[in-house]
Chain A
């Protein structure tokens, strides 16, 4: 690389200019100050990522507001008569947006009136906390599957198969659920392991295919999604999975010893699955930052040839990553089955496996980022449902908002352009889509 790019040229010069200075310029105190300054700069550039994400959410809400306006007939009508009643057009618009977004807030977190009622009377806490409980319930599988996808992405492995692995995990959990009979203290951990094992098997297959034959995981994992979806449909009409005495494609129900207990009373659905998700998230944060295996994963993700030259076994790591990624998606399937649904039906899992990919991107493939991203997505989903029920704004709008957020997060340059931010020089680690099609 003798033809240095301008920035490439910058670094060597800085260092060689430094070396020109007399030795007194390198006093220890000054060096410490310099190191602290470098660290501060790095913090700022991290903060920049945060700022970009916040601005992306803000932009998405603004664009969402515009969409609400142009799709609400009453608003359009009032704008049609802006000549005669200009004030009405603005007030109608404002009221529509305010109603929609406050419904979204109240549906996903809490209604201030319900909270104050609960505080003053001591009753109605369950009602007041139901929205946030629902958000946490929706977030649980997203955190689990999203963390799995993120570990894959940051290792350069594009696991698009979380959906299939989730189904495999749910099947594993279900099987352990009805085949094993034990007290809850033994049974439930086995169910959790069953979920992880089901997902791990589903992830192991594309891992081995990639390591042994070079088959690209994007293709194999997408195709395996269909395989597991159809496998589920088949198993639901077959013993031992089908509910006995049922003609419909519905599975047996999880016995009470295989169900994740609720955390706060029987009405609020938030359950132990959330604790599993939080533990996985923290564990993944430790794993990526501090463990030797996590380090080798990161190296392989950033530069597989350097990893190989340094003695890392790229094939083994590829298999491991996909297996681990699948296991976490499997846990997500277990969490929905044992936490809220208790039986499987065709098309199980909805969109969780694909939302997990989005959440991983939103969280920039970092476990704690994925955690925050999952909470945001879950809030948008539960809030969106409430908004549709109470203001008539379509649930699809939340999907649009989700999409716009991810769109902006994935294109930080665009956000910087719109908000005239200075580029703080994000490192090469920030390239989110590295390796696609490779």
Chain B
């Protein structure tokens, strides 16, 4: 199906979210929509999907002008959307999720499970989307859940598929599998609109690329004529350093020392399973791994937010194994939490209050239990300038800031007290290229000041760019330590748990390693 968006304009009050946007997706094309957060991509997709009504402009499907009052109408016209956060019922089976709302029925409205399963098997074979219709969704890995989402759209006969940041939850291998599916969908004549901010992926999979900035289309190009650097500067509007500039690390004394650390999750499962790690002053250790392999719990345990089942955490030789979050903060741990909006900020409070969230009761911000709001305010003024936080005023709720500026608020707060360890989980998740650059610079600057830095990231690019040493985590254990010159492919395999350090060494040295690793690869991609 061919999609044309002509002169779409959408304003919210004084703000122009989409300004005269033109976009054409040909039949059978994979079209990438690239832009920073706040560039207007989501607004445009919401207009297309019937969630918002444009102020002016026209949507045409196969040349025919259409108007959608709600997503239901868009679905009926063959538009399917796979959201970044899956819209699945976790306790339902794959089949139930896929047919939900469009269930095949027998007489008297009984659910015809047999037909549903058969339909799904047929669809999944047609496009190489391997799923089992009777599996319960919550038991499935994210990559498979995403396949279910795609099948859901195909079951509703989507001829234009919108994929919103689909790769953010996938391993490199799963991403490649997704790209293969996208190509087979395109070959079958379906059009794909792929929204992302990851430049490598755009170049790998797109037929054409449209870049948006500040609500406008900056330009349309193809992977053949553009490179990463060019795309990045189109997105940001200035030239961007894609490589983090840093001198070699000069590690000094051990700051953080983990020995035999065991941590359980909320259900009492061992998610960190006997981990040893040293982080030295003046070095960045980056932990790579697919989400959900224990990294979150590991970070929480170090920050005192989660009790330790066994083992020790030491900071500068001091035992913090049973420390409270406050103890950890006072001991000199700066923590940039993974979910900044839930754990890092109080969105309804002002920027100024958020900047003192963990030191609000200490001098000079308080005396004898009474807050000194003037100092809080002047502190905020300084931090806004120092960290280049774009806010109209320090008194506005932090919720009104963009993701990048919110993250800068957290960094500004955590880095403005004396610290020994900087613990940052997914420090640039969801941030735009410009903010990523800034956050990375700040992290490297802390390292150069002699702070020990521990980064946890599921973005391989970030791990490779920042880490002086890299640890790969899989199912609660470190499957390997390596340096950043290690190949992406090999780290990817370790992230999928199909290759541990010893195997990696063996693969380098021994003969016959190739067939072995390819076998494990295919096994890993089916049961990650």
Chain A: residues with CB nearer than 8 A to chain B?
1-7, 9-20, 34-35, 38-39, 42, 290-293, 295-296, 298-299, 302-303, 305-313, 427-429
Contacts and interface: CB of A to CB of B under 8 A. Distances in A.
Contacts of A295: 353, 360-361, 371
B400 A11 contact: yes
- Count chain B CB atoms within 10 A of each CB in A292, A302, A307 and give the residue with the most: A292
Contacts of B245: none
B344 A309 contact: yes
Interface in B368-410: 369-371, 373, 390-393, 395-397, 399-405
Give the dominant DSSP class at A's interface. Answer: helix
A15 B357 contact: no
- Count chain B CB atoms within 10 A of each CB in A7, A295, A312 and give the residue with the most: A295
B15 A14 contact: yes
Contacts of A309: 303, 305, 325, 335, 337, 343-344
B46 A6 contact: yes
A4 B42 contact: yes
Contact of B15 (A13, A20, A291): A13
Contact of B324 (A14, A306, A311): A311
A6 B55 CA distance: 14
B165 to A, nearest CB: 5
Given A11-B402, A12-B402, 6 more contacts: A1-B403, A2-B168, A13-B17, A292-B369, A298-B349, A309-B335
A313 B42 contact: no
Contacts of A428: 347-348, 397, 399
Contacts of B404: 12
A10 B401 contact: no
A7 B42 CA distance: 11
Given A295-B353, A313-B324, A12 B360 contact: no
Contacts of B37: 2, 4, 9, 12
Give the dominant DSSP class at B's interface. Answer: loop
A35 B348 contact: no
Interface of B: 12-13, 15-17, 37-38, 40, 42-43, 46, 52, 83-85, 164-165, 168, 197, 214-215, 237, 303, 305, 324-326, 328-330, 335, 337, 341-349, 353, 357-358, 360-361, 366, 369-371, 373, 390-393, 395-397, 399-405, 430
* For the complex of A and B, 6 pairs with smallest distance between CB atoms: A12-B402, A12-B38, A311-B326, A310-B358, A15-B390, A292-B361
11 contacts: A3-B42, A6-B46, A6-B52, A9-B38, A9-B40, A9-B42, A9-B43, A14-B15, A39-B393, A309-B303, A310-B329
A91 B388 CA distance: 69
A9 B397 CA distance: 15
B83 A3 contact: yes
A427 B395 CA distance: 13
Nearest to B13: A10
A35 B326 contact: no
A185 B52 CA distance: 68
B373 A290 contact: yes
Given A12-B38, A12-B403, A15-B390, A299 B305 contact: no
B214 A13 contact: yes
A3 B164 contact: yes
Contacts of B391: 15
A17 B46 CA distance: 22
Contact of A303 (B40, B43, B326, B346): B346
A2 B341 CA distance: 12
Contacts of B38: 4, 9, 11-13, 16
B343 A3 contact: no
A165 B303 CA distance: 38
B165 A3 contact: yes
Given A9-B43, A11-B402, A12-B38, A302 B85 contact: no
Contacts of B403: 1-2, 12
Contacts of B337: 309
Contacts of A429: 348
B401 A11 contact: yes
Contact of B329 (A1, A4, A311, A313): A311
B370 A290 contact: yes
Nearest to A306: B346
Nearest to A38: B393
Contacts of A307: 346, 357
Contact of A292 (B197, B329, B347, B366): B366
B242 to A, nearest CB: 19
A17 B391 CA distance: 12
Contacts of A298: 349
Nearest to B399: A428
Contacts of A12: 37-38, 401-405
B430 A1 contact: yes
B42 A305 contact: no
A4 B43 CA distance: 8
A67 to B, nearest CB: 38
A14 B391 CA distance: 9
A296 B360 contact: yes
Contacts of B361: 292, 295-296
Contacts of A18: 390, 392
A302 B325 contact: no
Contacts of B85: 3
Given A15-B402, A38-B393, A291-B371, A306 B52 contact: no
A35 B325 CA distance: 36
A16 B402 contact: yes
A10 B392 CA distance: 13
Given A12-B402, A16-B402, A3 B392 contact: no
Nearest to B197: A2
B118 to A, nearest CB: 33
A350 to B, nearest CB: 36
B324 A427 contact: no
Contact of A299 (B357, B373, B393): B357
A340 to B, nearest CB: 35
B43 to A, nearest CB: 6
A4 B347 CA distance: 15
Contacts of A290: 370-371, 373
Contacts of B353: 295
A159 B331 CA distance: 36
Nearest to B362: A292
Given A1-B341, A292-B369, A299 B17 contact: no
